[in-house]
Amino acid sequence: MIQDSGIASLLRKNIRLLKPYASARNEYSGDARIFLDANENYRGFTSHQVNRYPDPLQRELKEKLAALRGCTPHQIFLGNGSDEAIDLIIRAFAEPGSDKAVIMPPTYGVYQVFADLNDIETIRMPLQEDFSLDLEGLSILFEHRDFAGDLKLLFVCSPNNPTGNAFPHGDILRLVNSFPGIVVIDEAYQDFHDGPSNLSLIEKYSNVIVLQTFSKAWGMAGARVGMAYGSPEIIRVLNTIKYPYNVSVLSQQAALEALDHAEEVVREIDVIREAREKLSRSLAELPYVEKVYPSEANFLLVKTIHAAGLCSSLKQQGIIIRNREHEYRCSGCVRITVGSSEENRMLLDALQSITLEKERT
């Protein structure tokens, strides 16, 4: 039961009262000689050491991550991708059928899907034409009496997917100070961004959760490891409601190994950022490209005269990009991930061989 925190009043009642499942490895985690407590097999049959259950609280990984990020392990939740954290945050704070989540399209589609899945209505406050935050609209929304007490979650994706821009720290701070519920700041692409992370906000604001991930800059999308940073009270709640062994032994090992290569990761981020700028300039010269949006991430949002036509022409040459034309304010847009220098060159070769006609509407 959560008693000591400022967030208790924001939690759903059943979550506040939940008695957590105590797994064998939760009950005992020290160094013993013989473990006969979890019904594991004493031997495994693969080359990986997976016959034992993983540490349910991923302590070693959190220690290392905390040192890198300048926080404490008690401020870190680790999940099966940050997607798991998004789902758990919704389930912890938003009462199905009555509470609401605010999203700002065009943005990451998972917020909407997980809200729908949990029967949480989403209130959409679109970004402005230049993809900046509609601060005025948001502030009117936060104070609207129709929603009094129901606005539980605000999802802010910065740098934003699929637009690529990051929101100024000052703007985000304004939202944190004025939103009546939990502000989730998704920093999946922060590693590629020059500006400051919003992570430091968790020290002062108990209603802030910052998401990061090993999936993008750290090159570990296949391992599924994501982080949520927040006050120890929030982290305790997420740990209480997660699957008991939510991050596998293999994934924890891979993340520990990746952290040993932090300097290499940082160098590669520089390479990707440079390639992004180069790719951006080349794309802007194509006759059917109307605009390449500035990006603080490892992808580019590109406005073309015919998004679907471009995607299918590239597909014929074995190159897959993402059509985003149906996202709000994204007509004609595709999203292109920055690849290796060879992949980018092959992409440009293919693009130069394509002729496109304006889509008839």
Give contact residues for ligand PLP (rule: CB under 6 A): 81-83, 108, 157, 161, 186, 188, 213, 215-216, 221, 226
Name the minimum Å distance from CB 238 to ligand PLP: 14
Question: What's the min distance (Å) between Cβ of 137 and ligand PLP?
Answer: 21
Smallest gap from residue 126 Cβ to ligand PLP (A): 17
Helix (H/G/I), strand (E/B), else coil: 307: helix
Q: Are 89 and 101 contacting, i.e. CB atoms less than 8 angstroms apart?
A: no
For residue 69, the minimal CB distance to ligand PLP (Å) is 16
Name the CA dihedral angle for 162, 228, 340, 281, rounded to a multiple of 10 degrees.
40
Smallest gap from residue 218 Cβ to ligand PLP (A): 10
Indicate the burial class of 123 (C-beta count within 10 angstroms; 0-12, 13-18, 19 or more): middle
Query: What contacts 62, CB < 8 A, 6 or more positions away?
Result: 73, 76, 78
Looking at beta carbons only, is 58 or 161 nearer to ligand PLP?
Answer: 161
Decide whether 82 or 207 has the Cβ nearer to ligand PLP.
82
> In angstroms, what is the minimal distance from the CB of 215 to ligand PLP?
3
Pairing of strands 151-157, 208-213: unpaired
Beta carbon of residue 257, minimum distance to ligand PLP (angstroms, whole number):
17
Minimum gap (Å) between residue 299 Cβ and ligand PLP:
9
What would the 3-class secondary structure string for 121-146 be? EEEECCCCCCCCCCHHHHHHHHHCHH
Q: Of 161 and 246, which CB lies nearer to ligand PLP in the complex structure?
A: 161
Sign, CA dihedral 129-132-136-137, equals: positive
CA distance 83 to 241: 15
Kindly tell me which of 11 and 189 has the beta carbon lying closer to ligand PLP.
189
Please give the residue whose beta carbon sits closest to ligand PLP in the complex: 81
Q: Which two tokens stand for residue 35?
A: 């473990």
Nearest CB to ligand PLP, comparing residues 82 and 231: 82
Closer residue to ligand PLP (CB): 75 or 215: 215
Q: Which is nearer to ligand PLP, 87 or 150 (CB)?
A: 87
Whose Cβ is closer to ligand PLP: residue 103's or residue 188's? Answer: 188
DSSP H helices, the chain, are 13-16, 24-27, 59-69, 82-93, 110-117, 135-143, 169-178, 201-204, 232-241, 249-259, 262-284, 307-316, 341-352
Report angle CA 285, 287, 293 to the nearest 5 degrees. 55
